[in-house]
Amino acid sequence: MDGNGRWAKQRGLPRVAGHRQGVEIIKSMVQTCGQCGIPYLTLFAFSRENWRRPSAEVTLLLELLASTLENELPGLHEHGIRLRMIGDLSRFPQRLQRAIADADELTRNNKALNLTLAINYGGKWDLLEACKSIVALVEQGRIASASITPELIESQLCTHELPEPDFFIRTGGEQRISNFLLWQLAYTELYFTPVYWPDFNQDCFDQALQTFANRQRRFGKTSGQIKQLE
């Protein structure tokens, strides 16, 4: 969800104004995914690299995240949305950690939409933690190194309860994945748009979905093989 700060700068506003408008777009996208029958939505809300930003902006971001969770949680639960967070949550202020715990407890049995927020998350960190877990299993004698498989690695990732993503959207004009879901995006369709996140409206989302619908996903097979299955 890139471009909040630049959106605000264009309008002569403080960067936090862009982040606040970005929250409104999140609410809109969650509603749209529910209406379209999209069962999983994962949002990269705060990366491990974002700690490098000015401390005042980081503080405001974390306060905005905590207040948004507190304010929106009842409505999310009412609409049957399962909310989970992935990433290293231990570094966050106590208020935010409580809001995260409350969200997980309240919505864990909901089925309408699986909404995941990646916060203090990084793909390299995720893989590193998975490797540490697997090494520990080998050292404890619970598994043999020869039995390490892609499926075992996947079981140790933050996203082990989620399917691999079908579609990746990045707003803001940059054409990179910026350390997001490095393992999980292996066969994901990528889509990049110059539109800043606060301007990413329903029409923009529809255009992205149409692009996805027009792609042929082969997963290593030939076009001819795919057509035979259609």
Residues classed as catalytic: 2, 50
Tokens of 19: 């982040």
121 strand-pairing partners = 47
CB 153 within 8 A of CB 73: no
**Contact (CB, 8 A) for 65 and 91:** no
| Rg, the chain, Cα only | 19
What the block records as the tokens of 145 is 């190194």
Residues 154 and 229: their CA atoms lie apart, in Å, by 28
Contact 183, 123 (CB under 8 A): yes
Compute CA distances 190 → 122, 139, 177, whole Å.
Answer: 18, 38, 9
